[in-house]
Each structure stands twice: as C-alpha cells, then as structure tokens.
Amino acid sequence: GQQVMQIPQYQHVQEGEDFTTYCNSSTTLSNIQWYKQRPGGHPVFLIQLVKSGEVKKQKRLTFQFGEAKKNSSLHITATQTTDVGTYFCAGREGNYGQNFVFGPGTRLSVLP
C-alpha cells in the first residue's frame, strides 16, 4: 500500500535559522497536504498542493510539490518560537479517494 515518509524525524534550530522538512511517497499522488500540530494540540491544516512542480508561499513558509508528484517539501525562513510543533504531510493517490495517508511527521524545536 501507499507509504509516506518524512525526514528528518526531529530538527532543533536556533531562532532565526531556516528549516526544511521533506516528504516522500512510494506512489504518485494526486495532491498533498501539510498540517501543523502544536505540542498537546491537534493537527491544523496549512495548505494543499495539486499541480506538478507547484510552489506556494504563506508568509515565511514555502511549500513545494515535486515534478513527479511523489515528493514535497516545507521550508520555513527565519524560524520563530511560534513555529515549534510537528509538521505532517498527507498524500492522496486518487482525485476522488477518501483517504489521505499521513507521514510520521517532523518535530521542530526552536531555541530562543
């Protein structure tokens, strides 16, 4: 079945440094979503990417969908303490499937 992997598992950065997490799927995806979960909280939707090679930005966050639609990345510029949390990608194979398969997440710590 479909598998979604993320690296790194953990990342510790100094406030102001950049951060990138990578997501890789064993199969071609129709779309991919990114979620953020603060410690003790629940996942919150950040963005969805649909097109091959798509790049979207949200303030300091840049999301990219690979050309082959099997990988994606999330890059945060100049991290802040508010960026602390676990970032999950979730991929869907078909356009009408009900299910998104979540990656194991990357936990980000930001040292002030």
Using CB under 8 A as the criterion, which residues of the chain lie in contact with other proteins when the complex forms?
Answer: 1, 9, 31, 33, 35, 41-45, 47-48, 88, 90, 92, 98-105
The conformational region for residue 93 under phi > 0 = left, psi -120 to 50 = alpha, else beta, is alpha
Q: Is the peptide bond before 43 cis (omega within 30 degrees of 0)?
A: no
Provide, rounded to whole angstroms, the least separation between the CB of residue 112 and other proteins: 25
Nearer residue to other proteins within complex by CB, 16 or 41: 41
Classified as helix, coil or strand, 81 is helix
Nearer residue to other proteins within complex by CB, 55 or 78: 55
The conformational region for residue 83 under phi > 0 = left, psi -120 to 50 = alpha, else beta, is alpha
Nearer residue to other proteins within complex by CB, 10 or 16: 10
**Torsion sign across C-alpha atoms 7, 93, 44, 61:** positive
Nearer residue to other proteins within complex by CB, 66 or 105: 105
Provide, rounded to whole angstroms, the least separation between the CB of residue 15 and other proteins: 25
